[in-house]
Amino acid sequence: MEIQKKVALAAIFLITFYCLFFILNLFRADVSFNTGEQAQRYGLDDVAAEYYQGAIERNPREPRYHRELAYVLARQGIVEEAEREAEVAYNLNPKNSLTVRSLIATYVDLADIDPRYLTRAEELVAEAIAQQPTNPQLYYEQALILFKSEKNEEALAALRTALELKKDYKKAQDLLETTLYPR
């Protein structure tokens, strides 16, 4: 009986230790991520990328770590790694609207380097619109992407939809005016 108690206590101790270690590791991942966000705010993308990678090492199943790393890598022009991280973020949580919207910006930045990424940005903005069909900002973003892809008629339709949803949407009004009546 005494041996069973010792085994049970040892098991409880090990489980408790593992849980504490797991929680500490998640905390350290969040600290690393938050430090990366601060660096990113100051335009220190290379420093931010290091902290985001540290967060991913501690918790690789958190999509926001991957999506922010993808974004700073895209801004740095590190295309293949940015694309890989973006797809990891998407695959971890494809229905998360924050992830999808953040990845749209990442792929638009990547498209400045390689125009083939506009196709992925178009796909993601269409997904985001399907998730939030009454969000005028998404139609505005879709218009910007479509104009970049030289799909002007589709872009104009997206702008008009944005303005139907929000009549006083200044950015959409300005873009529509500059498109229809260039100076």
pLDDT digits (tens, 9 = 90+) for 20-53: 888 888 899 999 999 999 999 999 999 999 999 9
Rounded Cα distance between 134 and 126, Å, is 13
User: Could you tell me which of 56, 92, 98 has the C-alpha nearest to residue 73?
Assistant: 56
Whether 113 and 79 have beta carbons less than 8 Å apart is answered as: yes
- 84-140 pLDDT, tens digit per residue, is 999 999 999 898 888 898 899 899 999 989 999 999 999 999 999 999 999 999 999
For the chain, which residues make up each domain, given as ranges? 2-118, 133-183
Q: Which CATH superfamily is domain 2-118 in?
A: Tetratricopeptide repeat domain (1.25.40.10)
Is the separation of the CB atoms in 26 and 13 below 8 Å?
Answer: no
